[in-house]
Amino acid sequence: MEYGDEIVRRVRELAPVLAERARAAEEARRLPDETIADLADAGLFGMLVPERFGGAGLGLEPMVAACREIGTGCASTGWLSVIYTLHNWILALFPEEAQREVWKDRPYGLIPCTLAPTGTAEPADGGHRVTGRWSWGSGVMHADHVMVMALVTVDGGIEPRLFLLPRADVNVHDVWHTSGMRGTGSNDIEVPDVFVPAHRSVPLADLTEGRSPGAEVNSGSLYRIPLVPVFALTGAAPVLGVAEGVLARFADRMRTRVMAYSGAKQRDLMSGQIRLARATAELAAARLLLDEAIRDLSTAYESGEGYGIRERAKARLVAAHVAGTARAVVNELCSAAGASAQFSESPFQRAQRDVNTISSHVVFDPDATYALYGRIEMGIDPDPMTLV
């Protein structure tokens, strides 16, 4: 068994444990420390870290498979599995000195990243002074570093730039009081005018075009892939996993559920059978679509061909469509599971709240994403600030 398959097997076996911890994670509004330790021991966080730093140097396919399996147990854990694993890949795109600083003691970091450019950075001798406050800091409660996007004035123009800071240099504001995805602990991150040396920042354009400093020092096509297709497609994996977990629970519930008043078994009702079959087909199609998109992305860069703007927009299209399919299936099955599925101890209602929350992420916005692909397909250039 290859190492990537072994990691997938480990997290698949861990998923029932994560499901048992889901309510505690929700109530604490952060993942249990035991969960972080378990995922680290499984080898998850270092999957995309270059081998020369002690990581596994694996591709996107096993990473997506692992994060989908984790999502079947707990949506918040699935989302942070992507956050922590993917952001180590982003770190591999920074200058080598930054990589060495983070990975000097272990082959992974725990790094939230906020891409909305809601801060500013002023050039200073040897780097920048960064100031701002960022929302949606998923994973900040266990972080050792953070990444934030700030706007820099360069030659009269504005340049979005990603900055890496130690956790000790930032303030965290407890604002994460939400109906769904509570376990992600996605609190606000504030940087109060902190100096960031030049080796701990990289222009967003270098990341989105696949020409980052890390691509020059880390061998392998993985480190030449543009940011947005990777972020969108890997992010869709745990959302799909949540729906697959709900489908499995619905099938188990349906086998024994007796309908109120009529006394009929739900397993014998055509309505339940139809919902089960339709959800099975829709999720199978979504999984094939996601797997194909990940495979095509990896193959394009392994062959040296790369992606143009149309292919990058299609990756976002696939991610939004998969997330939308998962959301529709979860809502349909939770409705068919009956009113008792809405009790606070039920995994159905938690999954429903979680998937409705995470599928509202900007990268999964169906209207914006479908319009983006249609615009590019018609030969119209996207807006310069569009994530594509």
Q: Which residues share a beta bridge with 80?
A: none
Closest CA relative to residue 79, chosen from 190, 182, 226? 182
Q: How many CB atoms lie within 10 A of CB 13?
A: 11
The reply to whether the predicted model has a pTM over 0.85 is yes
* Cβ atoms of 363 and 387 closer than 8 Å: yes
For residues 232 and 317, give the distance between their C-alpha atoms in angstroms, rounded to a whole number: 9
Q: What is the DSSP letter of 177?
A: -
CB of 226 within 8 A of CB of 210?
yes
| pLDDT one digit per residue (tens) for the chain, 388 residues | 799 999 999 999 999 999 999 999 999 999 999 999 999 999 999 999 999 999 999 999 999 999 999 999 999 999 999 999 999 999 999 999 999 999 999 999 999 999 999 999 999 999 999 999 999 999 999 999 999 999 998 888 899 999 999 999 999 999 999 999 999 999 999 999 999 999 999 999 999 999 999 999 998 999 999 999 999 999 999 999 999 999 999 999 999 999 988 999 999 999 999 999 999 999 999 999 999 999 999 999 999 999 999 999 999 999 999 999 999 999 999 999 999 999 999 999 999 999 999 999 999 999 999 999 999 999 999 987 788 8
Question: DSSP label at 30?
Answer: S
d(CA 343, CA 345): 6
Beta strand segments in the chain, E: 113-124, 127-137, 145-154, 157-166, 171-173, 187-197, 201-203
